[in-house]
Amino acid sequence: MIKLLSIICCLLGVKLSVYSSPTSTNLIQSLVAIKSQGEGNQEAMKAWPLVSNFPPSAIPPLLDAMNRANNLGDNWIRAAIEKICEQNATQLPIEKIIVFLQDYSNEGDAREMAFQILQSEQPSKANQLIPSFINDPAPVLRQKAVELILNKAKNSSTKQKAIQLYHRALMQAREVEQIKEASRELEEAGEKINLIQLMGLLPEWQLMGPFDNSERKGFSVEYGPESEKGLTEQHKNKDGIVKWEKFSTQDELGLVDINQKYGELKEVCAYAKTTFHSESAQSAHFRIGSKNAWKMWVNGALLFSRDEYHRGKTRIDQFIIEGKLKEGENEILLKVCQNEQTQSWTKQWEFNFRITDRTGSAIHSNGSIIK
Protein backbone atom coordinates (compact mmCIF):
# COMPACT_ATOMS: atom_id res chain seq x y z
CA MET A 1 0.00 0.00 0.00
CA ILE A 2 2.81 2.43 0.93
CA LYS A 3 4.70 1.58 -2.26
CA LEU A 4 1.55 2.16 -4.35
CA LEU A 5 0.94 5.54 -2.69
CA SER A 6 4.56 6.49 -3.31
CA ILE A 7 4.29 5.68 -7.02
CA ILE A 8 1.02 7.59 -7.38
CA CYS A 9 2.41 10.62 -5.56
CA CYS A 10 5.57 10.62 -7.66
CA LEU A 11 3.47 10.55 -10.84
CA LEU A 12 1.38 13.44 -9.59
CA GLY A 13 4.40 15.39 -8.35
CA VAL A 14 3.14 15.30 -4.78
CA LYS A 15 5.53 14.70 -1.86
CA LEU A 16 4.51 11.64 0.15
CA SER A 17 4.38 12.22 3.88
CA VAL A 18 3.66 8.96 5.66
CA TYR A 19 3.52 9.71 9.36
CA SER A 20 0.78 7.83 11.11
CA SER A 21 0.97 5.14 13.74
CA PRO A 22 1.67 2.24 13.46
CA THR A 23 3.11 2.74 9.96
CA SER A 24 5.48 5.52 10.99
CA THR A 25 6.61 3.65 14.10
CA ASN A 26 7.42 0.55 12.06
CA LEU A 27 9.37 2.56 9.49
CA ILE A 28 11.44 4.31 12.18
CA GLN A 29 12.04 0.97 13.89
CA SER A 30 13.55 -0.33 10.64
CA LEU A 31 16.28 2.30 11.01
CA VAL A 32 16.76 1.54 14.69
CA ALA A 33 16.97 -2.22 14.16
CA ILE A 34 19.91 -2.26 11.72
CA LYS A 35 22.81 -4.36 13.02
CA SER A 36 26.55 -3.70 12.76
CA GLN A 37 26.99 -6.91 10.70
CA GLY A 38 24.63 -5.57 8.02
CA GLU A 39 21.48 -7.31 9.22
CA GLY A 40 18.50 -5.07 8.53
CA ASN A 41 20.17 -3.10 5.72
CA GLN A 42 17.51 -4.00 3.15
CA GLU A 43 14.66 -2.97 5.45
CA ALA A 44 16.42 0.31 6.28
CA MET A 45 16.99 1.09 2.59
CA LYS A 46 13.28 0.62 1.91
CA ALA A 47 12.19 2.67 4.94
CA TRP A 48 14.58 5.61 4.63
CA PRO A 49 13.00 7.34 1.57
CA LEU A 50 9.66 7.33 3.34
CA VAL A 51 11.04 8.43 6.73
CA SER A 52 13.03 11.25 5.14
CA ASN A 53 9.75 12.62 3.75
CA PHE A 54 8.01 12.71 7.10
CA PRO A 55 6.69 16.11 8.22
CA PRO A 56 8.69 18.27 10.68
CA SER A 57 6.57 16.96 13.57
CA ALA A 58 8.43 13.65 13.16
CA ILE A 59 11.75 15.15 14.25
CA PRO A 60 11.29 14.67 18.04
CA PRO A 61 10.29 10.99 17.62
CA LEU A 62 13.27 10.50 15.31
CA LEU A 63 15.59 12.08 17.86
CA ASP A 64 14.12 9.75 20.46
CA ALA A 65 14.80 6.80 18.14
CA MET A 66 18.50 7.72 18.24
CA ASN A 67 18.39 6.81 21.94
CA ARG A 68 17.81 3.18 20.92
CA ALA A 69 19.91 2.95 17.76
CA ASN A 70 23.53 1.87 17.31
CA ASN A 71 26.05 3.90 15.28
CA LEU A 72 24.72 2.69 11.94
CA GLY A 73 21.14 3.38 12.93
CA ASP A 74 22.16 6.82 14.16
CA ASN A 75 23.60 7.61 10.73
CA TRP A 76 20.42 6.57 8.92
CA ILE A 77 18.22 8.57 11.30
CA ARG A 78 20.54 11.59 11.23
CA ALA A 79 20.43 11.68 7.43
CA ALA A 80 16.63 11.48 7.49
CA ILE A 81 16.39 14.35 9.98
CA GLU A 82 18.76 16.47 7.90
CA LYS A 83 16.61 15.99 4.80
CA ILE A 84 13.42 16.83 6.69
CA CYS A 85 15.08 20.01 7.98
CA GLU A 86 16.24 21.01 4.49
CA GLN A 87 12.72 20.66 3.13
CA ASN A 88 10.91 22.31 6.04
CA ALA A 89 13.32 24.87 7.50
CA THR A 90 10.60 27.34 8.51
CA GLN A 91 8.25 24.79 10.06
CA LEU A 92 10.46 22.96 12.56
CA PRO A 93 9.10 22.23 16.08
CA ILE A 94 11.84 24.30 17.71
CA GLU A 95 10.41 24.33 21.23
CA LYS A 96 10.04 20.53 21.30
CA ILE A 97 13.60 20.18 19.99
CA ILE A 98 14.83 22.43 22.82
CA VAL A 99 12.93 20.34 25.39
CA PHE A 100 14.60 17.20 23.99
CA LEU A 101 18.01 18.89 24.04
CA GLN A 102 17.67 19.90 27.69
CA ASP A 103 16.60 16.43 28.86
CA TYR A 104 19.74 14.70 30.21
CA SER A 105 18.03 11.31 30.07
CA ASN A 106 18.41 11.37 26.29
CA GLU A 107 21.60 10.01 24.73
CA GLY A 108 24.41 12.47 24.06
CA ASP A 109 24.51 11.82 20.30
CA ALA A 110 20.79 12.50 20.01
CA ARG A 111 21.01 15.69 22.06
CA GLU A 112 23.98 16.87 20.00
CA MET A 113 21.87 16.33 16.87
CA ALA A 114 19.10 18.41 18.42
CA PHE A 115 21.61 21.19 19.07
CA GLN A 116 22.89 21.02 15.48
CA ILE A 117 19.32 21.55 14.23
CA LEU A 118 18.86 24.51 16.54
CA GLN A 119 22.23 26.01 15.65
CA SER A 120 21.48 25.71 11.93
CA GLU A 121 17.96 27.09 12.01
CA GLN A 122 17.97 29.47 15.00
CA PRO A 123 21.60 30.24 15.90
CA SER A 124 20.74 32.99 18.38
CA LYS A 125 18.68 30.57 20.51
CA ALA A 126 21.42 27.98 20.23
CA ASN A 127 24.08 30.43 21.41
CA GLN A 128 21.95 31.43 24.38
CA LEU A 129 21.89 27.81 25.54
CA ILE A 130 25.64 27.16 25.32
CA PRO A 131 26.52 28.46 28.84
CA SER A 132 24.02 25.98 30.31
CA PHE A 133 26.10 23.09 28.93
CA ILE A 134 28.95 23.65 31.40
CA ASN A 135 28.01 20.55 33.46
CA ASP A 136 26.52 18.65 30.55
CA PRO A 137 27.19 14.89 30.38
CA ALA A 138 27.38 15.05 26.56
CA PRO A 139 31.06 15.71 25.72
CA VAL A 140 30.48 17.83 22.60
CA LEU A 141 27.95 20.10 24.32
CA ARG A 142 30.10 20.52 27.43
CA GLN A 143 33.08 21.27 25.17
CA LYS A 144 31.18 24.17 23.60
CA ALA A 145 30.54 25.75 27.01
CA VAL A 146 34.19 25.36 28.05
CA GLU A 147 35.31 26.85 24.73
CA LEU A 148 33.17 29.89 25.50
CA ILE A 149 34.98 30.34 28.83
CA LEU A 150 38.39 29.90 27.22
CA ASN A 151 37.56 32.55 24.62
CA LYS A 152 36.45 34.95 27.35
CA ALA A 153 39.72 34.32 29.16
CA LYS A 154 41.76 35.07 26.02
CA ASN A 155 39.90 38.34 25.54
CA SER A 156 39.84 39.32 29.21
CA SER A 157 40.80 42.90 30.04
CA THR A 158 42.82 41.94 33.13
CA LYS A 159 45.24 39.17 34.01
CA GLN A 160 43.38 38.41 37.24
CA LYS A 161 40.07 37.93 35.43
CA ALA A 162 41.76 35.74 32.82
CA ILE A 163 43.26 33.53 35.55
CA GLN A 164 39.84 33.13 37.18
CA LEU A 165 38.32 32.08 33.87
CA TYR A 166 41.13 29.65 33.06
CA HIS A 167 40.66 28.07 36.50
CA ARG A 168 36.96 27.65 35.82
CA ALA A 169 37.62 26.17 32.39
CA LEU A 170 40.15 23.77 33.87
CA MET A 171 37.73 22.48 36.50
CA GLN A 172 34.89 22.01 34.00
CA ALA A 173 36.79 20.69 30.97
CA ARG A 174 36.76 16.98 30.16
CA GLU A 175 38.32 17.16 26.69
CA VAL A 176 42.08 16.63 26.87
CA GLU A 177 43.14 19.51 24.62
CA GLN A 178 41.00 21.99 26.53
CA ILE A 179 42.41 20.76 29.85
CA LYS A 180 45.94 21.18 28.52
CA GLU A 181 45.19 24.65 27.13
CA ALA A 182 43.82 25.97 30.43
CA SER A 183 46.67 24.35 32.36
CA ARG A 184 49.29 25.81 30.01
CA GLU A 185 47.86 29.32 30.28
CA LEU A 186 47.82 29.12 34.08
CA GLU A 187 51.40 27.88 34.21
CA GLU A 188 52.47 30.73 31.90
CA ALA A 189 50.81 33.07 34.40
CA GLY A 190 53.08 31.66 37.11
CA GLU A 191 50.85 29.01 38.68
CA LYS A 192 51.97 25.42 39.23
CA ILE A 193 49.31 22.95 38.09
CA ASN A 194 49.24 19.28 39.02
CA LEU A 195 46.39 17.91 36.94
CA ILE A 196 46.41 14.48 38.55
CA GLN A 197 46.08 16.01 42.02
CA LEU A 198 43.62 18.67 40.92
CA MET A 199 41.25 16.27 39.18
CA GLY A 200 41.74 13.36 41.56
CA LEU A 201 42.97 10.98 38.85
CA LEU A 202 44.40 7.72 40.22
CA PRO A 203 47.93 7.07 38.87
CA GLU A 204 48.97 4.15 41.14
CA TRP A 205 47.70 0.66 40.29
CA GLN A 206 48.64 -2.98 40.37
CA LEU A 207 48.25 -4.87 37.10
CA MET A 208 47.82 -8.56 36.33
CA GLY A 209 47.77 -10.18 32.91
CA PRO A 210 47.57 -10.84 30.12
CA PHE A 211 44.60 -13.23 29.93
CA ASP A 212 43.08 -14.68 26.77
CA ASN A 213 40.38 -12.76 24.88
CA SER A 214 40.29 -14.76 21.65
CA GLU A 215 37.12 -14.07 19.65
CA ARG A 216 36.26 -11.53 22.39
CA LYS A 217 35.19 -14.39 24.67
CA GLY A 218 37.51 -13.42 27.52
CA PHE A 219 35.29 -10.50 28.49
CA SER A 220 32.77 -12.96 29.95
CA VAL A 221 35.30 -15.41 31.41
CA GLU A 222 35.77 -15.17 35.18
CA TYR A 223 39.55 -15.34 35.43
CA GLY A 224 41.32 -15.62 38.77
CA PRO A 225 41.33 -11.91 39.73
CA GLU A 226 37.51 -11.97 39.66
CA SER A 227 37.38 -14.75 42.25
CA GLU A 228 36.81 -14.23 45.97
CA LYS A 229 40.56 -14.24 46.63
CA GLY A 230 41.46 -12.61 43.35
CA LEU A 231 42.88 -9.43 44.82
CA THR A 232 45.53 -11.14 46.91
CA GLU A 233 46.68 -14.29 45.11
CA GLN A 234 48.67 -15.14 42.02
CA HIS A 235 46.77 -16.74 39.16
CA LYS A 236 47.21 -18.77 36.01
CA ASN A 237 46.95 -17.47 32.47
CA LYS A 238 47.52 -19.49 29.30
CA ASP A 239 51.31 -19.10 29.62
CA GLY A 240 51.74 -19.89 33.30
CA ILE A 241 51.59 -18.05 36.64
CA VAL A 242 51.00 -14.29 36.77
CA LYS A 243 51.20 -11.99 39.78
CA TRP A 244 50.04 -8.53 40.70
CA GLU A 245 52.71 -5.99 39.71
CA LYS A 246 52.87 -2.32 40.62
CA PHE A 247 52.35 0.21 37.84
CA SER A 248 52.59 3.99 38.16
CA THR A 249 51.64 6.15 35.19
CA GLN A 250 53.70 9.24 34.41
CA ASP A 251 51.04 10.69 32.13
CA GLU A 252 49.96 14.18 33.19
CA LEU A 253 46.31 13.15 32.92
CA GLY A 254 46.68 9.83 34.68
CA LEU A 255 46.33 7.67 31.57
CA VAL A 256 47.25 4.06 32.37
CA ASP A 257 48.73 2.65 29.15
CA ILE A 258 48.61 -1.13 29.56
CA ASN A 259 50.68 -1.51 26.38
CA GLN A 260 53.61 -0.07 28.35
CA LYS A 261 53.42 -3.07 30.66
CA TYR A 262 52.73 -5.94 28.28
CA GLY A 263 53.45 -4.62 24.80
CA GLU A 264 50.98 -4.04 21.96
CA LEU A 265 49.09 -7.31 22.33
CA LYS A 266 45.75 -8.20 20.75
CA GLU A 267 42.91 -10.44 21.97
CA VAL A 268 43.89 -10.10 25.61
CA CYS A 269 42.52 -8.87 28.94
CA ALA A 270 44.30 -7.36 31.93
CA TYR A 271 43.17 -6.50 35.45
CA ALA A 272 43.99 -3.37 37.42
CA LYS A 273 43.38 -2.90 41.14
CA THR A 274 43.87 -0.12 43.64
CA THR A 275 42.81 0.71 47.20
CA PHE A 276 40.90 3.94 47.84
CA HIS A 277 40.52 5.35 51.36
CA SER A 278 37.33 7.25 52.16
CA GLU A 279 36.94 9.17 55.43
CA SER A 280 33.24 8.33 55.55
CA ALA A 281 30.56 6.22 53.90
CA GLN A 282 29.32 8.31 50.99
CA SER A 283 27.72 8.28 47.56
CA ALA A 284 30.21 8.77 44.75
CA HIS A 285 30.63 8.88 41.00
CA PHE A 286 33.15 6.42 39.58
CA ARG A 287 34.45 7.99 36.38
CA ILE A 288 36.39 5.95 33.86
CA GLY A 289 37.72 6.75 30.41
CA SER A 290 38.54 3.87 28.06
CA LYS A 291 38.01 2.98 24.42
CA ASN A 292 38.30 -0.72 25.27
CA ALA A 293 35.77 -3.14 26.72
CA TRP A 294 35.84 -3.00 30.52
CA LYS A 295 34.25 -4.09 33.79
CA MET A 296 34.35 -2.36 37.17
CA TRP A 297 34.02 -3.83 40.65
CA VAL A 298 33.88 -1.84 43.89
CA ASN A 299 34.41 -3.83 47.08
CA GLY A 300 33.75 -7.08 45.26
CA ALA A 301 30.46 -6.02 43.66
CA LEU A 302 30.24 -5.63 39.88
CA LEU A 303 29.21 -2.02 39.37
CA PHE A 304 29.17 -1.78 35.57
CA SER A 305 30.44 -3.42 32.38
CA ARG A 306 30.77 -2.27 28.78
CA ASP A 307 31.44 -4.80 26.03
CA GLU A 308 32.35 -2.41 23.21
CA TYR A 309 35.68 -1.66 21.55
CA HIS A 310 37.33 1.43 20.03
CA ARG A 311 34.36 3.75 19.71
CA GLY A 312 35.88 7.23 19.73
CA LYS A 313 38.83 8.30 21.86
CA THR A 314 39.60 7.73 25.53
CA ARG A 315 38.36 10.80 27.41
CA ILE A 316 38.27 12.07 30.97
CA ASP A 317 34.91 11.14 32.56
CA GLN A 318 33.88 9.18 29.47
CA PHE A 319 31.63 6.97 31.58
CA ILE A 320 30.11 8.01 34.91
CA ILE A 321 28.80 5.29 37.21
CA GLU A 322 26.96 6.04 40.44
CA GLY A 323 27.92 3.98 43.47
CA LYS A 324 28.93 4.11 47.12
CA LEU A 325 32.16 4.23 49.08
CA LYS A 326 32.33 2.68 52.51
CA GLU A 327 34.25 4.28 55.35
CA GLY A 328 37.89 3.22 55.27
CA GLU A 329 39.49 1.12 52.55
CA ASN A 330 37.65 0.43 49.29
CA GLU A 331 38.94 -2.08 46.74
CA ILE A 332 38.61 -1.01 43.11
CA LEU A 333 39.05 -3.68 40.41
CA LEU A 334 38.97 -3.08 36.66
CA LYS A 335 39.09 -5.54 33.79
CA VAL A 336 40.21 -3.97 30.50
CA CYS A 337 40.01 -6.03 27.30
CA GLN A 338 41.64 -5.60 23.89
CA ASN A 339 40.15 -7.12 20.73
CA GLU A 340 41.50 -8.50 17.45
CA GLN A 341 41.42 -5.34 15.28
CA THR A 342 44.77 -4.26 13.84
CA GLN A 343 44.11 -0.76 12.48
CA SER A 344 46.27 2.01 13.95
CA TRP A 345 43.30 3.49 15.83
CA THR A 346 42.69 0.16 17.63
CA LYS A 347 46.14 -0.26 19.21
CA GLN A 348 45.25 1.59 22.42
CA TRP A 349 44.78 -0.54 25.54
CA GLU A 350 44.26 2.06 28.24
CA PHE A 351 42.12 3.75 30.85
CA ASN A 352 41.97 6.67 33.24
CA PHE A 353 39.99 6.70 36.45
CA ARG A 354 38.86 9.05 39.19
CA ILE A 355 36.22 9.25 41.91
CA THR A 356 34.12 12.38 42.45
CA ASP A 357 31.02 13.70 44.12
CA ARG A 358 27.92 14.18 41.95
CA THR A 359 29.11 17.60 40.71
CA GLY A 360 32.40 16.24 39.39
CA SER A 361 34.52 17.61 42.24
CA ALA A 362 37.32 15.17 43.01
CA ILE A 363 37.19 12.96 46.09
CA HIS A 364 40.76 12.14 47.07
CA SER A 365 41.90 8.94 48.70
CA ASN A 366 42.61 10.83 51.93
CA GLY A 367 38.97 11.83 51.98
CA SER A 368 39.30 15.48 50.94
CA ILE A 369 37.24 17.01 48.16
CA ILE A 370 38.89 19.53 45.82
CA LYS A 371 36.41 22.05 44.45
98 and 212 fall within a common domain: no
Provide the percentage of residues in the chain whose pLDDT is more than 70.
92
- Is 49 inside any structural domain? yes
Provide the percentage of residues in the chain whose pLDDT is more than 90.
71
Spatial CA neighbour of 64 closest among 55, 74, 79? 74
Residue 19, pLDDT > 90, answer: no
- Is 255 inside any structural domain? yes
**Domain range holding 44?**
2-133
Work out how many domains the chain is built from and give that number: 3
- Is 199 inside any structural domain? no
37 and 147 fall within a common domain: no
238 and 321 fall within a common domain: yes
Residue 222, pLDDT > 70, answer: yes
- Does this model's pTM top 0.75? My answer is no
278 and 345 fall within a common domain: yes
pLDDT average, residue stretch 265-287:
96
Domain boundary among 86, 105, 133: 133
- Is 310 inside any structural domain? yes
146 and 120 fall within a common domain: no
Measured CA to CA, the distance from residue 282 to residue 148 in angstroms comes to: 34
Domain boundary among 92, 113, 133: 133
Angle between helices 41-51 and 71-87 (to 10 degrees): 20
Question: What confidence category does residue 18 fall into, taking pLDDT thresholds of 50, 70 and 90?
Answer: very low
List pLDDT tens digits, range 156-191: 999 999 999 999 999 888 787 898 899 999 999 999
> What are the Cα distances from residue 56, in Å, to 61, 65, 86, 117?
10, 15, 10, 12
Residue 2, pLDDT > 50, answer: no
On average, the pLDDT of the chain sits at 89
Q: How far is CA 106 from the centre of its chain?
A: 13
The 3-state DSSP class for residue 105 equals coil
Rg (CA), the chain: 24
pLDDT average, residue stretch 234-242:
87
361 and 215 fall within a common domain: yes
- Is 198 inside any structural domain? no
Residue 286, pLDDT > 60, answer: yes
101 and 55 fall within a common domain: yes
